[in-house]
Amino acid sequence: MKTQIKKSWAEPYKMKMVELLKMTTRTQRLKAIKDAGYNTFLLKSADVYIDLLTDSGTSAMSDRQWAGMMVGDEAYAGSSNFFHLEETIRKYYGYKYIIPTHQGRGAENILSKVLIKKGNVIPGNMYFTTTRLHQELAGGTFTDIIIDEAHDPLNSHPFKGNVDLDKLDKVVKKYGAKRIPYVSIATNVNMAGGQPISMKNLKELRAYAKKNGIRIIHDMTRVAENAYFIQQREKGYKDKSIAQIVKEICSQTDGATMSAKKDALVNIGGFLATNEWDVYEDARNLVVVYEGLHTYGGLAGRDMEAMSIGIVESLDDFHQQARVGQVEYLGNKMLDYGIPIVKPIGGHGIFVDAKAFLPHLTQDQYPAQTLAAEIYIDSGVRTMERGIVSAGRKANGENYYPKLELVRFTIPRRVYTQAHMDVIAESTYNVFKKRHKIKGLKMAYEPKYLRFFQARFDKLG
């Protein structure tokens, strides 16, 4: 009999330096989370053991990236690191004109101001918090055109980031193409649980958009993770490299915003890209107002150098296999424990279904916010609410009630070990066993914008 050898996802790197962590007691954590108003964003990171708040800006840079920091050219204008970044983005992503920004939302702000006029409608494959807010602040209205499956945590559609072209067609018929400055497409949709869009769907969307004279703007924050899923799941792509697939994805779009703090393995940075000279000209003018000169956009030269190197490292097939492999390892452990998570397992983290975990709480009692606080108390693992608090309020003041009420366990890239993944799953199971005794929260303070960052809560009962 032939022995089946399991191919592991082990990392294509080794450790050279470690960051020591503070270990805390349950009593210390109970006080810390109460002081933080039961909001994990308001915890001090020194009180956190394993930090899964976000995969944004939390990656471990490589020795080569750190070496790149040493060749930072800190000239105010025309830094050589900018030209290296421009060349890298053109070569690997294929966009023509590039403007660096301090992070993703800097690019979103500028692009929204350039492209959106009052009364415009922006269809997209699920909202992202900062992206939608900038679209709204520029006078537009976001409308969701993702497939229905994306809103069902149990549906295991392999491409839950796909666009429903009938939904898009209805939006176009209702408002007219002239009122739609672009379709907003995220690769590996964050709020759906790190779920990919297929190349087939993207190409169909491209054909539809072209016919109707509508641009596609690409939120490419996690494009390499999306490419990995296409390579693994989509017919015709298993022999293509991540780099080839990423370039093909970008070629289906007219421009992009990027938070390089995720895929591109840097602690700070982003950019805006476009293939249209007019858009570039307007954006290049606006960036001076909000970020800095168009050859640094709020970044130091060394940050741009680390980004150029990180972009190339993110496109390595072994890197993505280990990156997504680690997330899948954690997800499968959670499933073994019977913990309800979004399926299929996503690219950048595990999303626990808080409605199913705490079915005795109503959505107004903030099940995901509650669960994130309970997991922190149990083990010092910090996660993030992605439910009713994150969804915020509509322009008329009413709460959004999103179907997905999730706790996100986001895995930083190249930072934690397999044993850390075990601790996370065990702690979640520990909370799962006593879930019936858990009481909800009520909001005590609500900021106007992006309330999830700074809201405070009190314990019910």
Which one among 131, 314, 320, 369 touches ligand F0G, defined by CB under 6 A? 131
Of 24, 40, 129, 253, catalytic: 129
Catalytic residue among 31, 76, 453, 459: 76
Applying CB under 6 A, which part among 102-110, 310-318, 332-340, 371-379 lies near ligand F0G?
Answer: 102-110
Cβ atoms of residues 186 and 129 within 8 Å: no
Q: Which residue is nearest to ligand F0G (CB)?
A: 104
> How many residues sit in the footprint of ligand F0G (CB under 6 A)?
15
Task: Tell me, yes or no, if 27 is annotated catalytic.
Answer: no
The CA angle 350-370-147, to the nearest 5 degrees, is 45
Residues 215-244 that bind ligand F0G (CB under 6 A): 219, 221
Active-site residue, 386 included: yes
Q: Which of 24, 39, 40, 54 binds ligand F0G (CB under 6 A)?
A: 54
Q: What are the phi and psi torsion angles at 219 (to 5°)?
A: -85, 100
- Whether 452 sits among the annotated catalytic residues: the reply is yes
Q: Is 383 in the site for ligand F0G (CB under 6 A)?
A: no
186 binds ligand F0G (CB under 6 A): yes
Please identify which residue in 56, 184, 195, 428 interacts with ligand F0G, judged by CB under 6 A: 56
User: For the window 262-281, what string marks contact with ligand F0G as x by the rule CB under 6 A?
Assistant: --------x-----------
Q: Which residues contact 91 (CB under 8 A, 6 or more apart)?
A: none
Asked if 333 contacts 422 with a C-beta cutoff of 8 angstroms, the reply is: yes
**Which one of the spans 110-118, 128-136, 336-344, 428-436 is the region binding ligand F0G (CB under 6 A)?**
128-136
| Beta carbons of 84 and 98 less than 8 angstroms apart | no
- Interaction of residue 103 with ligand F0G, rule CB under 6 A: yes
Q: Is 113 a catalytic residue?
A: no
Whether 88 is catalytic: no
59: left (phi over 0), alpha (psi -120 to 50) or beta: beta
Annotated catalytic residue within 38, 128, 159, 376: 128
47, 51, 55, 219: the active-site residue:
219
Q: Residue 130 Cβ, how far from ligand F0G at the closest point, in Å?
A: 5
Query: Does residue 179 contact residue 218 with C-beta atoms inside 8 Å?
Result: no
428 binds ligand F0G (CB under 6 A): no
CB-wise, 15 or 289, nearer to ligand F0G?
Answer: 289
Cβ–Cβ under 8 Å, residues 404 and 387: yes
Examine residue 135 and tell whether it contacts ligand F0G (CB under 6 A): no
Query: Is 262 a residue of the active site?
Result: yes
Is 219 annotated as catalytic?
Answer: yes
* Whole-angstrom distance, CA of residue 312 vs CA of residue 260: 12
Which residue in 24, 190, 274, 427 binds ligand F0G (CB under 6 A)?
190
Report the residue number, 205 or 299, with the smaller CB distance to ligand F0G: 299
List interacting residues with ligand F0G (CB under 6 A).
54, 56, 103-105, 128, 130-131, 186, 190, 219, 221, 259, 261, 270
Residues tagged active-site: 76, 128-129, 219, 262, 386, 452
